[in-house]
Amino acid sequence: MDLSLYLPRLLDGLGVSLQLTALSVVFGYALGLVFALGVSSIHRGLRWPALVVVEVGRGIPALVVLYIVYYGLPAVGVLLTNFWAAAAGLTFTVAAYSSEMIRAGIQSVPRGQGEAAAALGLSRLPTFARVILPQGLRSSIPALMGLAIQSFQGTSLAYSISVNELMSQAYQVSSLTFAYLTVYVVTGVIYAVIAVPATWVSVWVEHRLARGHA
Protein backbone atom coordinates (compact mmCIF):
# COMPACT_ATOMS: atom_id res chain seq x y z
CA MET A 1 0.00 0.00 0.00
CA ASP A 2 1.40 3.33 -1.06
CA LEU A 3 1.95 5.81 1.70
CA SER A 4 1.44 8.79 -0.61
CA LEU A 5 -2.17 7.71 -1.18
CA TYR A 6 -3.31 8.00 2.39
CA LEU A 7 -0.80 10.35 3.97
CA PRO A 8 -2.73 13.45 2.76
CA ARG A 9 -5.87 12.19 4.52
CA LEU A 10 -3.96 11.61 7.74
CA LEU A 11 -2.44 15.08 7.52
CA ASP A 12 -5.93 16.56 6.99
CA GLY A 13 -6.90 14.78 10.19
CA LEU A 14 -3.83 16.17 11.92
CA GLY A 15 -5.02 19.68 10.98
CA VAL A 16 -8.32 19.04 12.76
CA SER A 17 -6.46 17.59 15.78
CA LEU A 18 -4.33 20.72 15.98
CA GLN A 19 -7.40 22.96 15.77
CA LEU A 20 -8.99 21.01 18.62
CA THR A 21 -5.76 21.33 20.63
CA ALA A 22 -5.56 25.09 20.07
CA LEU A 23 -9.21 25.66 21.02
CA SER A 24 -9.13 23.46 24.11
CA VAL A 25 -5.84 24.92 25.34
CA VAL A 26 -6.77 28.59 24.81
CA PHE A 27 -10.26 28.35 26.27
CA GLY A 28 -9.28 25.66 28.78
CA TYR A 29 -6.47 27.73 30.30
CA ALA A 30 -8.68 30.84 30.46
CA LEU A 31 -11.41 28.87 32.19
CA GLY A 32 -8.75 27.15 34.33
CA LEU A 33 -7.58 30.55 35.57
CA VAL A 34 -11.15 31.38 36.55
CA PHE A 35 -11.48 28.05 38.40
CA ALA A 36 -8.10 28.61 40.09
CA LEU A 37 -9.23 32.04 41.31
CA GLY A 38 -12.45 30.44 42.55
CA VAL A 39 -10.61 27.70 44.44
CA SER A 40 -8.21 30.25 46.01
CA SER A 41 -11.07 32.58 46.93
CA ILE A 42 -11.58 33.47 50.59
CA HIS A 43 -15.35 33.29 50.07
CA ARG A 44 -16.73 29.87 50.83
CA GLY A 45 -19.61 30.37 48.40
CA LEU A 46 -17.08 30.62 45.58
CA ARG A 47 -14.45 28.21 46.85
CA TRP A 48 -16.57 25.11 47.33
CA PRO A 49 -18.43 25.11 44.00
CA ALA A 50 -15.13 25.76 42.18
CA LEU A 51 -13.45 22.94 44.09
CA VAL A 52 -16.25 20.50 43.24
CA VAL A 53 -16.16 21.40 39.54
CA VAL A 54 -12.38 21.01 39.41
CA GLU A 55 -12.29 17.70 41.29
CA VAL A 56 -15.13 16.29 39.20
CA GLY A 57 -13.43 17.46 36.02
CA ARG A 58 -10.19 15.77 37.02
CA GLY A 59 -11.88 12.66 38.37
CA ILE A 60 -13.87 11.73 35.26
CA PRO A 61 -12.16 10.21 32.21
CA ALA A 62 -12.05 12.65 29.27
CA LEU A 63 -13.79 9.99 27.20
CA VAL A 64 -16.82 10.06 29.54
CA VAL A 65 -16.87 13.87 29.43
CA LEU A 66 -16.96 13.70 25.63
CA TYR A 67 -19.88 11.26 25.64
CA ILE A 68 -21.79 13.38 28.15
CA VAL A 69 -21.33 16.53 26.07
CA TYR A 70 -22.05 14.74 22.81
CA TYR A 71 -25.21 12.96 23.95
CA GLY A 72 -26.20 15.42 26.64
CA LEU A 73 -26.25 18.85 25.01
CA PRO A 74 -28.91 17.94 22.40
CA ALA A 75 -31.11 16.80 25.29
CA VAL A 76 -31.01 20.28 26.80
CA GLY A 77 -31.60 21.89 23.42
CA VAL A 78 -28.01 22.79 22.52
CA LEU A 79 -27.10 21.44 19.11
CA LEU A 80 -23.39 21.31 18.42
CA THR A 81 -21.53 19.63 15.58
CA ASN A 82 -19.26 16.78 16.63
CA PHE A 83 -16.26 19.06 16.30
CA TRP A 84 -17.63 21.68 18.68
CA ALA A 85 -18.90 19.03 21.10
CA ALA A 86 -15.34 17.64 21.23
CA ALA A 87 -13.88 21.13 21.62
CA ALA A 88 -16.27 21.85 24.50
CA GLY A 89 -15.60 18.53 26.27
CA LEU A 90 -11.82 18.79 25.93
CA THR A 91 -11.92 22.43 27.06
CA PHE A 92 -13.66 21.41 30.27
CA THR A 93 -11.12 18.66 31.03
CA VAL A 94 -8.18 20.94 30.22
CA ALA A 95 -9.69 23.68 32.39
CA ALA A 96 -9.99 21.35 35.39
CA TYR A 97 -6.38 20.15 35.09
CA SER A 98 -4.90 23.56 34.33
CA SER A 99 -6.67 25.21 37.25
CA GLU A 100 -4.80 22.97 39.71
CA MET A 101 -1.48 23.84 38.01
CA ILE A 102 -2.25 27.56 38.07
CA ARG A 103 -3.37 27.33 41.70
CA ALA A 104 -0.17 25.51 42.67
CA GLY A 105 1.81 28.23 40.87
CA ILE A 106 -0.02 31.00 42.74
CA GLN A 107 0.54 29.21 46.05
CA SER A 108 4.25 28.83 45.37
CA VAL A 109 4.74 32.62 45.41
CA PRO A 110 6.42 33.42 48.76
CA ARG A 111 4.21 35.22 51.26
CA GLY A 112 6.77 38.02 51.54
CA GLN A 113 5.79 39.18 48.06
CA GLY A 114 2.25 39.99 49.16
CA GLU A 115 3.49 41.58 52.40
CA ALA A 116 6.04 43.69 50.54
CA ALA A 117 3.38 44.88 48.09
CA ALA A 118 1.07 45.77 50.98
CA ALA A 119 3.91 47.61 52.72
CA LEU A 120 4.44 49.63 49.54
CA GLY A 121 0.82 50.70 49.75
CA LEU A 122 -0.66 48.50 47.01
CA SER A 123 -4.21 47.46 47.73
CA ARG A 124 -5.44 43.88 47.48
CA LEU A 125 -6.46 43.77 43.83
CA PRO A 126 -3.30 45.28 42.30
CA THR A 127 -1.21 43.17 44.68
CA PHE A 128 -2.82 40.05 43.35
CA ALA A 129 -3.08 41.03 39.68
CA ARG A 130 0.33 42.65 39.28
CA VAL A 131 2.56 41.00 41.89
CA ILE A 132 1.30 37.54 42.83
CA LEU A 133 -0.40 36.36 39.63
CA PRO A 134 2.45 37.09 37.16
CA GLN A 135 4.95 35.23 39.35
CA GLY A 136 2.52 32.38 39.98
CA LEU A 137 1.79 31.94 36.28
CA ARG A 138 5.50 31.97 35.53
CA SER A 139 6.12 28.99 37.78
CA SER A 140 3.18 27.09 36.33
CA ILE A 141 4.46 27.46 32.75
CA PRO A 142 6.31 24.09 32.61
CA ALA A 143 3.28 22.18 33.90
CA LEU A 144 0.98 24.04 31.49
CA MET A 145 3.27 23.22 28.58
CA GLY A 146 3.15 19.56 29.56
CA LEU A 147 -0.63 19.74 29.73
CA ALA A 148 -0.78 21.28 26.24
CA ILE A 149 1.13 18.25 24.90
CA GLN A 150 -1.24 15.92 26.77
CA SER A 151 -4.19 17.84 25.32
CA PHE A 152 -2.84 17.33 21.82
CA GLN A 153 -2.70 13.58 22.46
CA GLY A 154 -6.10 13.72 24.14
CA THR A 155 -7.74 15.00 20.95
CA SER A 156 -7.42 11.40 19.69
CA LEU A 157 -10.36 10.59 21.99
CA ALA A 158 -12.59 12.72 19.74
CA TYR A 159 -12.45 9.70 17.44
CA SER A 160 -15.07 8.13 19.71
CA ILE A 161 -17.62 10.81 18.81
CA SER A 162 -16.73 10.69 15.10
CA VAL A 163 -14.83 13.95 14.72
CA ASN A 164 -12.74 13.61 11.57
CA GLU A 165 -9.43 14.20 13.35
CA LEU A 166 -6.26 12.17 12.87
CA MET A 167 -7.40 9.01 14.67
CA SER A 168 -10.73 8.85 12.78
CA GLN A 169 -8.95 9.34 9.47
CA ALA A 170 -6.57 6.54 10.42
CA TYR A 171 -9.51 4.28 11.22
CA GLN A 172 -11.25 5.02 7.92
CA VAL A 173 -8.09 4.66 5.86
CA SER A 174 -7.16 1.39 7.55
CA SER A 175 -10.58 -0.13 6.98
CA LEU A 176 -10.36 0.81 3.30
CA THR A 177 -6.83 -0.47 2.75
CA PHE A 178 -6.68 -3.26 5.35
CA ALA A 179 -3.12 -2.06 6.04
CA TYR A 180 -3.92 -1.79 9.75
CA LEU A 181 -0.42 -2.08 11.12
CA THR A 182 1.16 0.39 8.67
CA VAL A 183 -1.59 2.98 8.98
CA TYR A 184 -1.68 2.95 12.78
CA VAL A 185 2.09 2.95 13.09
CA VAL A 186 2.29 5.94 10.71
CA THR A 187 -0.44 7.62 12.77
CA GLY A 188 1.51 6.97 15.97
CA VAL A 189 4.63 8.44 14.34
CA ILE A 190 2.70 11.58 13.33
CA TYR A 191 1.55 12.11 16.92
CA ALA A 192 5.05 11.43 18.23
CA VAL A 193 6.77 13.72 15.71
CA ILE A 194 4.84 16.60 17.28
CA ALA A 195 4.63 15.47 20.90
CA VAL A 196 8.22 14.31 21.46
CA PRO A 197 10.06 17.46 20.30
CA ALA A 198 7.42 19.50 22.14
CA THR A 199 8.36 17.60 25.31
CA TRP A 200 12.03 18.44 24.77
CA VAL A 201 11.12 22.12 24.35
CA SER A 202 9.11 22.08 27.58
CA VAL A 203 12.02 20.46 29.47
CA TRP A 204 14.34 23.12 28.06
CA VAL A 205 11.97 25.91 29.11
CA GLU A 206 11.73 24.38 32.59
CA HIS A 207 15.53 24.47 32.92
CA ARG A 208 15.65 28.05 31.68
CA LEU A 209 12.99 29.19 34.15
CA ALA A 210 14.68 27.33 37.03
CA ARG A 211 17.96 29.04 36.17
CA GLY A 212 16.28 32.44 36.22
CA HIS A 213 14.97 31.79 39.72
CA ALA A 214 18.18 30.53 41.30
Partner 1 sequence: MEAVVAVLLGLPMTLLVTAAAFAIGLVGGIPLMLGLRSRHRVVRLAVRFVVDLIRGIPPIVWLFVLFFGVSIGALRFNALAAAIVGLGIISAAYLAEIYRGGFATLPAGQTEAARALGLGRRSTFVRVLAPQAARTALPSVTTFLLALLKDSSIASTIGVTDMVFAANTFVRQNPMTAGLTPFFVAAAVYVAISIPLAIVARRLDARMRRSA
Closer CB to partner 1, 134 or 188, in the complex: 188
Residue 212: how many CB atoms within 10 A of its CB? 8
**Which residues of the shown chain bind partner 1 in the complex (CB under 8 A)?**
55-56, 59-64, 67-68, 71-72, 75, 153-154, 156-157, 159-160, 167, 170-171, 174, 180-182, 184-185, 187-188, 191-192, 195-196, 199-200
Closer CB to partner 1, 48 or 180, in the complex: 180
Give the shortest CB-62-to-partner 1 separation in angstroms: 7
Contacts of 94 (CB under 8 A, 6+ apart): 24, 25, 28, 29, 32, 147, 151, 154
Q: How far apart are CA 18 and CA 87, in angstroms?
A: 11
Closer CB to partner 1, 135 or 160, in the complex: 160
Could you tell me if residue 130 is left (phi over 0), alpha (psi between -120 and 50 degrees) or otherwise beta? alpha
Give the shortest CB-159-to-partner 1 separation in angstroms: 7
Query: For the chain, what is the total number of helices (H) and then of strands (E)?
Result: 9, 0
Closer CB to partner 1, 40 or 127, in the complex: 40
